[in-house]
Amino acid sequence: MAFISPTLMRTVRGVRLTVQGTGVARSMSTSAYTGWNPETGHRVKRKVHDAHVPFPSFLAQPKVAAVIGAPMTHGQPKEGTDDGPDMIRNAGLHDELKSLGWKVDDLGNLAMPKPTPSDAPWKGPGMARHPVAVGKGCEIVMHSVKKATQENKFVLTLGGDHSIGAGTVAGILQARPETGIVWVDAHADINTPSISESGNMHGMPLALVMGLDKPHQIPGWEWLEGTPVLSPRQLVYIGLRDVDEAERKILRDLGILCFTMYHVDKYGIGGVMERILEHLQHRPLHLSYDIDAVDPLHAPATGTTVRGGLTFREAHYVAEAVGESGLLGSLDMVEVNPSLGSDADTKDTVEMGLALISSAMGSRIV
């Protein structure tokens, strides 16, 4: 049965982290950053400890993380998401992964096509903005992710807007078709062009890989024909709080398991994650993490903020629980947009994204 609830306002309980100065001061062997928060007078420090969490049997040893930059920005209207991959790298990604025992195979940033006047438009029904550029970009992502997955590497994809999720999921399903998808997001991202209220394709990736409304007929998305289709029972949401009415109908009709922020309040984050992992047990897992799932108090530099999101600790527990399952084989971190908000907002958001990656890939408090 699918769980659906309206947007809810909730009291945020975490502790906001503020970083001072022009850069992020880091010491990878002990702390991710250290600084002084003038608002509270408290010293802030985040440590990275390798807790040797269970390692998936389907990944190669010694463990290798293939890092793929997917600087897509045309799935939504705000510039800046294309800077996300390098901002996370420059904040110390490689050093953190190495301190967690990973060998890093950074494949660089993929070249994302730009819209051109000669691109075939979507003629309807409905709207799809920049379908050719986004579709071809996601095809590039799909091939890169597929190759790294087939090499039995852990695949870490840095967005970029969440339209790249169509490429990452499609690539993973070609290598491991039984994979379960944990979609962490304030939004359902299951619009089709015919029902989308905006036409922005970062709100469509799951509909595309689920084959809803013949997506291979959309210009730029012809490559979807013949690719594995994601089954509703392979998908679980966590963190939903801003869902379009037409999307609600899709979620209900398909019986997709959804944990909104209502369910986080009702069951607690531990109870939610227990239910998710029980539903997806025995499957390899892919965690697609949109930073806007986190309350904007902790991750303000993103394009579609919605109040009432995951607290600092709830956000980390999601990543930790999936990582500790011993089944996590791939991860997306998307929608970090350094162009939105102040320098402090950007530092908070980039640091949050990096910290969540570390939590998913093995970092623990003790």
Q: Which of 74, 130, 202, 298 is catalytic?
A: 202
Pick the catalytic residue from 82, 292, 332, 351: 292
> How far is 256 from 131, CA to CA, in rounded Å?
26
| Exposed / middle / buried, residue 21 (Cβ in 10 Å: 0-12, 13-18, 19+) | exposed
Tell how far CA 93 is from the center of its chain.
16
Structure tokens at 82: 């294309």
Q: Which of the following is catalytic: 247, 290, 295, 324?
A: 290
Contacts of 85 (CB under 8 A, 6+ apart): 69, 70, 71, 109, 158, 159, 160
Work out whether strand 180-184 and strand 285-290 pair parallel, antiparallel, or are unpaired: parallel
Structure tokens at 18: 């503020």
Exactly one of 130, 162, 298, 316 is catalytic; name it. Answer: 162
Q: Residue 94 catalytic?
A: no
**Annotation marks residue 348 as catalytic:** no
- Active-site hit among 82, 83, 185, 247: 185
Q: Note if 162 is an active site residue.
A: yes
Q: Return the SS3 of 260.
A: strand
Distances (CA, A) of 212 to 70, 204, 217, 298: 24, 10, 11, 34
- Catalytic one of 161, 189, 247, 320: 189
DSSP state of 120: P
Q: Are 72 and 337 in contact (CB under 8 A)?
A: no
**Does the annotation mark 292 as catalytic?**
yes
User: Which residues have a catalytic role annotated?
Assistant: 162, 185, 187, 189, 202, 290, 292, 335
